[in-house]
């Protein structure tokens, strides 16, 4: 069997490693990804030294049966295991696991450091086309591309879109090798669109580079990610009111129960963490209107509580706000255009009827995570969508898929042999973007793929035996 994994970030590497460790001889595994971040992914390959993980080291093992593997790999002390380390270190850990698995595997694990740009159905198999013009055949294909590129910002004028005063992706390097964010001069006035984790990284990098100019961060709700506590809190058990709401898939009841509990639990973070094992099942049982209601009214509030930042980063952001160096606003960017010497923007603050006209030197898009397949600029995902091999979730949460992670076509039928792993499955699972959930899903999909391989081999052997009978 030939299994191809498209995407060499966390999801792809975790699946490739699981397959390599368990696959018998004769299985051919192709791991396809761009060379710049191969084996690490964008999150850990494009990070800077000042960018910290938002999970403690002790919980970041890439295999579900050994969550402490990352801390063991670094030989950390008990104290250090509860700290938040640089993301670049985690990238090296993922890459080392991949190398070790390929050296010990009975199967063939092949590195293909090229971007996959198209996939066509060819009989029972697939033809994968690469950016260098080459292609190959695969029996199974897994889409593990991670988050999709952020969508273009509404209101950006055509001149500004191609001007250095607009940074569409802060970690993009130019042809000269200089990063877009490194071109921002220390005294320039910066408007950042987004107030989540990407914004926090941008502000941290600007601060490390000695930025002195005013920084404004703008989002619809103006919410900053909450912080972890220095010492991990003790786990708690969910009370019957919460469990009943989870089991009956009642979103309103769940919100009411959580609000009642928040003032009395020792640490609200323990409450959020205790929910995680139940969230995938809860989301599966939610109706489409309830999912839409959550996304419209609760998503922003949930994500700042769920996706927290390391305490040192939280303190740094708060210090910058206290000193007046960072301003966080709730509102909308209505328009931004290059006005000759600066960027002229129109912003309508939340709760106000009228917009204000302001000037900045640089606008930075830091809107972060996206899984909207209908609007994506990702070449492979757009091609698969247009060819009908995948179907976009109507709420913009990735693709439609079966419980076995198979992509569904336009008619709602499983596309045999085409699977997804990671954020593209948010429509089915919601909680499928962080290491604890991804490593479990990678193990499950690897077992499923190898079970199919064993069944196929048995069918071939039975056919050969039948042919050999007199």
- The predicted-structure confidence for 281-295, as pLDDT tens digits, reads as follows 999 999 999 999 999
Output the CA torsion sign for 318, 320, 321, 323: positive
Alpha-carbon dihedral angle through residues 72, 73, 74, 75, given to the nearest 10 degrees:
40
Same domain? For 327 and 449 the reply is: no
pTM score, whole prediction: 0.93
Same domain? For 64 and 112 the reply is: yes
Total structural domains within the chain: 3
Residue 470 belongs to some domain of the structure: no
Same domain? For 400 and 261 the reply is: no
> Of 306, 325, 345, which residue sits at a domain end?
306
Same domain? For 279 and 293 the reply is: yes
**In this structure, what are the phi and psi dihedrals at residue 131, rounded to the nearest 5 degrees?**
-65, -25
Same domain? For 314 and 165 the reply is: yes
- Write down the residue that tokens 């198999």 correspond to: 125
Same domain? For 78 and 123 the reply is: yes
Residue 178 belongs to some domain of the structure: yes
Same domain? For 61 and 29 the reply is: yes
Same domain? For 17 and 119 the reply is: yes
Same domain? For 42 and 120 the reply is: yes
Same domain? For 414 and 279 the reply is: no
Residues of the chain where predicted confidence (pLDDT) is lower than 70: 175, 177, 453-470
Residue 466 belongs to some domain of the structure: no
- Which of 380, 398, 443 is closest to 141 using CA atoms? 380
Residue 231 belongs to some domain of the structure: no
Which of the 8 DSSP states describes residue 353?
S
- Using CA atoms, how far apart are residues 230 and 18, in angstroms rounded to an integer? 33
Q: Give residue 461's pLDDT.
A: 38
Q: Where are the beta strands (DSSP E) in 339-433?
A: 343-349, 356-360, 362-365, 406-408, 414-420
Q: Give residue 455's pLDDT.
A: 61
Same domain? For 168 and 265 the reply is: no
* Strands 116-122 and 28-32, sheet pairing: unpaired
Q: Give residue 462's pLDDT.
A: 54
Residue 82 belongs to some domain of the structure: yes
> Of 333, 348, 365, which residue sits at a domain end?
365
Around Cβ 74, how many Cβ atoms within 10 Å? 16
Residue 198 belongs to some domain of the structure: yes
Domain that holds residue 14: 2-149+371-461
For 387-428, what is each residue's pLDDT tens digit?
999 999 999 999 999 999 999 999 999 999 999 999 999 999
Residue 469 belongs to some domain of the structure: no
Q: Give residue 467's pLDDT.
A: 42
- Packing angle, helices 268-285 and 299-306, rounded to 10: 130
Q: Give residue 64's pLDDT.
A: 87
| Residue burial 337-375, b: 16+ Cβ < 10 Å; e: rest | bbeeeebbbebeeeeeeebeeeebbbbbbbbbbbbbbee
* Strands 166-167 and 190-193, sheet pairing: unpaired
Residue 232 belongs to some domain of the structure: no
Same domain? For 99 and 201 the reply is: no
Asked whether the beta carbons of 15 and 101 are under 8 A apart, the reply is no
116 DSSP β-pair partners: 130
CATH number, residue 352: 3.50.50.60
> Of 306, 334, 354, which residue sits at a domain end?
306
């Amino acid at each position: 069997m030939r299994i191809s994994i498209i995407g060499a970030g966390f999801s792809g590497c975790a699946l490739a490693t699981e397959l390599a460790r368990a696959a018998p001889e004769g299985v051919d595994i192709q791991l396809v990804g761009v060379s710049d971040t191969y084996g690490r992914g964008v999150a850990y390959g494009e990070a800077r030294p000042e960018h910290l993980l938002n999970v403690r080291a002790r919980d970041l093992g890439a295999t579900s049966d050994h969550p402490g593997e990352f801390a063991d790999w670094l030989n950390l002390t008990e104290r250090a295991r509860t700290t938040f380390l640089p993301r670049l270190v985690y990238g090296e850990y993922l890459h080392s696991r991949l190398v070790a698995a390929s050296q010990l595997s009975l199967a063939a694990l092949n590195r293909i450091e090229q971007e996959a740009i198209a996939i066509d159905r060819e009989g029972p198999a697939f033809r994968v086309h690469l950016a260098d013009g080459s292609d190959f055949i695969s029996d199974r294909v897994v889409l593990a591309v991670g988050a999709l590129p952020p969508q273009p910002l509404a209101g950006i004028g055509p001149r500004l879109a191609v001007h250095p005063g607009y940074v569409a992706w802060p970690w993009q390097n130019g042809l000269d090798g200089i990063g877009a964010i490194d071109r921002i001069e220390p005294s320039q006035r910066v408007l950042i669109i987004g107030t989540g984790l990407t914004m926090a990284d941008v502000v941290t990098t600007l601060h490390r580079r000695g930025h002195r100019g005013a920084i404004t961060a703008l989002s619809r709700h103006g919410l900053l990610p909450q912080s972890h506590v220095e010492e991990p809190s003790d786990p708690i058990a969910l009370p019957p009111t919460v469990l009943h709401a989870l089991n009956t898939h009642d979103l309103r009841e769940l919100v009411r129960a959580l609000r009642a509990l928040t003032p009395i639990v020792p640490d609200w973070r323990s409450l959020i963490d205790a929910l995680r094992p139940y969230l995938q099942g809860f989301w599966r049982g939610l109706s489409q209107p309830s999912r839409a209601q959550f996304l419209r009214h609760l998503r922003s509030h949930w994500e700042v509580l769920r996706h927290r930042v390391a305490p040192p980063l939280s303190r740094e952001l708060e210090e910058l706000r206290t000193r007046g160096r960072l301003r966080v606003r709730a509102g909308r960017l209505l328009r931004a255009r290059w006005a000759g010497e600066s960027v002229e923007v129109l912003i309508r603050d939340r709760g106000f009827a009228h917009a204000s006209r302001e000037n900045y030197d640089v606008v930075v898009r830091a809107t972060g995570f996206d899984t909207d397949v209908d609007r994506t600029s990702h070449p492979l995902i757009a091609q698969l969508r247009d060819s009908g091999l995948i179907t976009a979730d109507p709420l913009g949460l990735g693709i439609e898929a079966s419980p076995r992670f198979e992509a569904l076509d336009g008619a709602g039928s499983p596309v045999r042999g085409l699977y997804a792993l990671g954020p593209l499955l948010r429509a089915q699972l919601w909680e499928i973007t962080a290491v604890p959930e991804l490593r479990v899903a990678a193990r499950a999909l690897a077992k499923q793929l190898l079970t199919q391989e064993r069944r196929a081999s048995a069918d071939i052997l039975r056919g050969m035996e039948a042919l050999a009978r007199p």
